[in-house]
C-alpha cells in the first residue's frame, strides 16, 4: 500500500563544521535562495521542490564526516556556460568538462568548502 500522499518538497541534508561558511558558499557563490531558516539548519532551493539542507553538525542528527560519500548533482540547461562561470569563480576541485555518452551527459565537478562534490551537467540527448 502506498503512502497517503507524495512529498511536497525534498531536502537532502549535508552536515558541516562551519555552517556560516557553507551557507555563504551556497547562497553567495551558487546563488541559491534560502527558503527555510531553522538557525542551525539552512534550507536552500535547488530547483522546483528539490532542496539542500545545510546543518551544523554539532546540532544535527548525523555527525560530520571527513570522507564524503554524497554528491549533489545540478542539471542545468547550458553546462558550458556554467563551466565558464565556475572557472571565473575559482571553485575548489574544479575538473575538466567531460562527456559520458553511455548515460548521455556533459558535466564537470567541483567541491564545496567542506569537501562535498557537486556535479553540474546537461543532457546530450533527449531522455538522458
Domains defined for the chain, CATH in brackets: 6-58 (3.10.180.10), 65-128 (3.10.180.10)
Mean pLDDT of 79-100: 97
Choose among 50, 60, 51, 45: nearest CA to 15: 60
pLDDT of residue 18: 97
pLDDT of residue 47: 95
The 8 Å CB, 24+ separation contacts for 9-12 are 9/49, 9/50, 9/51, 10/49, 10/50, 10/51, 11/43, 11/51, 11/52, 11/53, 12/51, 12/52, 12/53, 12/70, 12/72
pLDDT of residue 52: 98
Choose among 123, 89, 86, 94: nearest CA to 111: 94
pTM higher than 0.85, yes or no? yes
Q: What is the pLDDT of residues 63-89, one digit of tens each?
A: 999 999 999 999 999 999 999 999 999
Mean pLDDT of 80-109: 97
Amino acid at each position: 500500500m502506498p503512502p497517503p500522499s507524495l512529498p511536497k518538497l525534498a531536502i537532502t541534508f549535508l552536515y558541516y563544521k562551519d555552517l556560516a561558511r557553507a551557507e555563504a558558499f551556497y547562497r553567495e557563490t551558487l546563488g541559491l535562495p534560502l527558503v527555510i531558516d531553522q538557525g542551525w539548519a539552512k534550507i536552500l532551493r535547488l530547483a522546483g521542490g528539490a532542496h539542500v539542507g545545510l546543518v551544523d553538525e554539532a546540532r544535527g542528527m548525523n555527525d560530520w564526516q571527513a570522507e564524503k560519500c554524497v554528491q549533489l548533482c545540478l542539471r542545468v540547461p547550458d553546462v558550458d556556460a556554467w563551466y565558464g562561470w565556475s572557472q571565473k569563480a575559482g571553485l575548489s576541485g574544479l575538473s575538466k568538462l567531460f562527456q559520458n555518452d553511455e548515460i548521455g551527459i556533459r558535466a564537470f565537478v567541483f567541491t564545496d568548502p567542506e569537501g562535498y562534490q557537486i556535479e553540474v551537467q546537461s543532457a546530450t540527448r533527449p531522455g538522458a
